[in-house]
């Protein structure tokens, strides 16, 4: 029996799981139109490789991974590309994004699917298959899986599969483990083959007895261990589940691989099995549609399906529905457009009514009760982070480990003053990130300027060195062979050119100088001062010295 360890904090909100877990997974019908976002993962969005008017097959790549941290997207069905444009998407910012719209032809014609034997294939080839199949973490973070399974030099001792699904209302992983446990285990085997861990643990909360039994049966003779953990939100958080199962804590600012642990989602393992063993990219997912709808249920729907159609599949929303949530009530976000499509990150759609989700009272001043600190699973001081975020003292917020906050909402849940603490933390994080980008851009500009100056200085020095080298070589050649006719001819030519230049310069100066006055003849200028040089010598001696006329 494995010893479990308790993490700090946590809360027990009503789980509301049974509403959507009574019925099996239903296959959603083929929509007439599918809107496929190119950004369905953390990192660089995929680059479209199709154009409007193209006919595509089911599973065909329509957006290629554009960076190491990126993943491809594929056509969920066969049809015609009708648009590549900005469209509404489910995102906390409510901002639209670039999407590819496919009009279905109804044929559902697949591409040629080629399985890959991961046991004999090169590990990098398997990771490339995961990237090109669009495999990302389906637990909510949607981090590209091929990157996660590339730990580099870090030795992974423990591989953990997260089946806790601690968020209220969501049951998609629960139903997936109940109905497709063997396929999940097949995907876990691929993960284990790539990273060679010493142990594989599958953590599941004890409010999912059917899923626990199904996974235990599928794991027989594999060496994988199914571990039942107590219900406590957020036990499904990566760091919290690692602490519960191994007793290890991830240091602030570090990743789980730094302590030899890698954590992934059970839904991710399932899609890995489909991609490697069957050659099928990620074109669908299990999504819970629950809340204020007539028939809450889990559906396997194609990515790109308008979310409004999923609401209709669940019997439609009741008249008192006020709005919708993507994800759970603790970490989810509001949806303001049901025309937004299903994405890889969408695990739950909740119809909200005042009866199910009473509106929060107006926020009041913080009373410093520290209940938020007691509930924080990351052992932070939310009341202090609130003051720093509100006053925009971002240096202090960073110093108090703001970025360790997982935005689980436990502090919001217990706050007696009803302060939306997580909203303040998200604001502070975004502002700090913006400042960091600006500082980095300024530093890069400074480095570019300094490099330019260094390059220009180096080029001047190199040019001067080349000239000096040539001059020294010429002098050395002349000194070594003074009778060289070629050198003498060059020297004579240079000297002649110098003489010609001097002559031309003298001619130019002469042309610009004024002409000299002609000398006066006898009789001319007799009245001018100094004309006595024309007199005979006998007369010159008697001429007045100053050559002036007598008075």
Tens of pLDDT, residues 175-219: 999 999 999 999 999 999 999 999 999 999 999 999 999 999 999
Mean pLDDT of the region 94-111: 95
Q: How far apart are CA 411 and CA 405, in angstroms?
A: 11
User: In the structure, what pLDDT confidence band is assigned to residue 154 with cuts at 50, 70 and 90?
Assistant: confident
Residue 133 has pLDDT above 90, yes or no: yes
Q: Tell me which H or E stretch contains 98.
A: strand 97-104
Using alpha carbons, select from 109, 115, 126, 120 the residue that is nearest to residue 57: 109
Q: What pLDDT sits at residue 536? A: 47
Mean pLDDT of the region 291-303: 97
Q: What pLDDT sits at residue 477? A: 73
Q: What pLDDT sits at residue 336? A: 86
Q: Tell me which H or E stretch contains 290.
A: strand 284-291
Q: How far apart are CA 52 and CA 166, in angstroms?
A: 42
Q: What pLDDT sits at residue 439? A: 93
User: In the structure, what pLDDT confidence band is assigned to residue 535 with cuts at 50, 70 and 90?
Assistant: very low
* Tens digit of each residue's pLDDT (9 = 90 or more) over 454-488: 999 999 999 999 988 888 887 787 777 666 676 67
Residue 302 has pLDDT above 90, yes or no: yes
Residue 60 has pLDDT above 90, yes or no: yes
Is the pTM of the predicted complex or chain greater than 0.85?
no
Mean pLDDT (the chain, rounded): 90
Structure tokens at 20: 């959507």
Structure tokens at 26: 């239903």
Q: What pLDDT sits at residue 152? A: 78
Residue 224 has pLDDT above 70, yes or no: yes
Q: What percent of the chain has pLDDT over 70?
A: 91
Q: How many CB atoms lie within 10 A of CB 435?
A: 13
Residue 524 has pLDDT above 90, yes or no: no
User: In the structure, what pLDDT confidence band is assigned to residue 516 with cuts at 50, 70 and 90?
Assistant: low
Residue 304 has pLDDT above 50, yes or no: yes
Lowest mean pLDDT among 18-27, 356-365, 425-434, 479-488: 479-488
Higher per-residue pLDDT: 10 or 512: 10
Q: What pLDDT sits at residue 548? A: 42
Lowest mean pLDDT among 145-154, 268-277, 393-402: 145-154
Q: Reduced to 3 states, what is the DSSP secondary structure of residue 402? A: helix
Residue 549 has pLDDT above 60, yes or no: no
Phi, psi of 494, rounded to the nearest 5 degrees = -65, -40
Lowest mean pLDDT among 11-15, 160-164, 518-522: 518-522
User: In the structure, what pLDDT confidence band is assigned to residue 335 with cuts at 50, 70 and 90?
Assistant: very high
Do the beta carbons of residue 112 and residue 59 sit within 8 Å?
no
Q: What pLDDT sits at residue 527? A: 44
Q: What percent of the chain has pLDDT over 90?
A: 79
Lowest mean pLDDT among 122-136, 233-247, 511-525: 511-525
CATH top-level class for 123-279? Answer: alpha beta
Q: What pLDDT sits at residue 96? A: 94
Residue 167 has pLDDT above 90, yes or no: yes
Residue 24 has pLDDT above 80, yes or no: yes
User: In the structure, what pLDDT confidence band is assigned to residue 515 with cuts at 50, 70 and 90?
Assistant: low
Q: Reduced to 3 states, what is the DSSP secondary structure of residue 340? A: coil
User: In the structure, what pLDDT confidence band is assigned to residue 513 with cuts at 50, 70 and 90?
Assistant: low
Q: What pLDDT sits at residue 518? A: 53
List the chain domain ranges. 123-279, 371-432, 440-504+528-548
Alpha-carbon distances of 519 from 13, 513, 516, 531, rounded to whole Å: 125, 19, 9, 11
Mean pLDDT of the region 408-418: 96
């Amino acid at each position: 029996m494995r010893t479990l360890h308790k993490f700090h904090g946590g809360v027990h909100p009503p789980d509301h799981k049974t509403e959507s877990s009574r019925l099996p997974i239903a296959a959603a019908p083929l929509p007439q139109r599918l809107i496929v976002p190119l950004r369905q993962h953390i990192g660089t969005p995929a680059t479209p490789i199709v154009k409007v008017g193209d006919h595509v097959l089911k599973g065909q790549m329509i957006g290629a991974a554009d960076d190491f941290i990126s993943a491809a997207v594929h056509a969920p069905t066969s049809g015609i590309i009708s648009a590549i444009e900005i469209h509404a998407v489910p995102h906390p910012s409510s901002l639209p994004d670039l999407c590819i719209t496919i009009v279905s032809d109804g044929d559902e014609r697949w591409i040629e699917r080629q399985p890959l034997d991961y046991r004999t294939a090169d590990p990098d080839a398997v990771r490339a298959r995961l990237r090109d199949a669009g495999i990302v973490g389906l637990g909510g973070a949607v981090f590209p899986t091929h990157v996660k399974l590339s730990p580099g030099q870090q030795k992974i001792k423990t591989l953990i599969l997260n089946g806790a699904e601690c968020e209220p209302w969501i049951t998609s992983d629960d139903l997936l483990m109940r109905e497709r446990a063997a396929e999940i285990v097949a995907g876990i085997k691929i993960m284990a083959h790539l990273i060679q861990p010493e142990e594989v643990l599958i953590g599941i909360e004890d409010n999912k007895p059917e899923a626990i039994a199904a996974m235990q049966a599928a794991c027989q003779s594999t060496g994988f261990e199914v571990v039942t953990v107590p219900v406590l939100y957020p036990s499904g958080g990566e760091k919290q589940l690692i602490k519960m199962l191994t007793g290890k804590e991830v240091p602030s600012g570090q990743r789980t691989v730094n302590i030899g642990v890698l954590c992934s989602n059970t839904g991710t393992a399932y899609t890995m099995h489909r991609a490697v063993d069957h050659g099928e990219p990620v074109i669908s997912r299990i999504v819970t549609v629950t809340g204020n709808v007539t028939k809450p249920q889990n559906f396997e729907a194609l990515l790109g399906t308008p979310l409004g159609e999923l609401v209709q599949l669940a019997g439609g929303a009741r008249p008192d529905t006020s709005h919708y949530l993507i994800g759970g009530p603790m970490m989810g976000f509001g949806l303001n457009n049901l025309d937004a499509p299903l994405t890889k990150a969408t695990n739950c759609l909740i119809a909200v009514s005042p009866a199910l989700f009473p509106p929060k009272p107006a926020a009041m001043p913080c009373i410093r009760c520290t209940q938020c600190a007691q509930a924080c699973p990351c052992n932070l001081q939310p009341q202090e982070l609130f003051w720093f975020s509100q006053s925009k003292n971002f240096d202090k917020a960073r110093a108090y480990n703001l970025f360790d906050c997982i935005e689980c909402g436990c502090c919001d849940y217990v706050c007696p003053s009803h302060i939306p603490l997580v909203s303040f933390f998200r604001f502070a994080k975004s502002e700090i990130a913006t400042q960091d980008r600006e500082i980095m851009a300024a530093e890069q500009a400074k480095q570019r300027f300094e490099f330019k100056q260094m390059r220009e200085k180096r080029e001047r020095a190199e040019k001067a060195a080349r000239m000096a080298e040539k001059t020294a070589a010429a002098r050395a050649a002349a000194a070594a062979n003074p009778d060289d006719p070629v050198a003498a001819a060059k020297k004579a030519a240079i000297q002649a050119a110098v003489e010609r230049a001097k002559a031309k310069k003298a001619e130019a100066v002469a042309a610009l100088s004024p002409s000299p006055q002609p000398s006066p003849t006898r009789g001319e200028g007799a009245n001018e001062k100094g004309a006595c040089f024309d007199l005979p010598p006998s007369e010159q001696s008697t001429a007045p010295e100053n050559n002036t006329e007598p008075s």
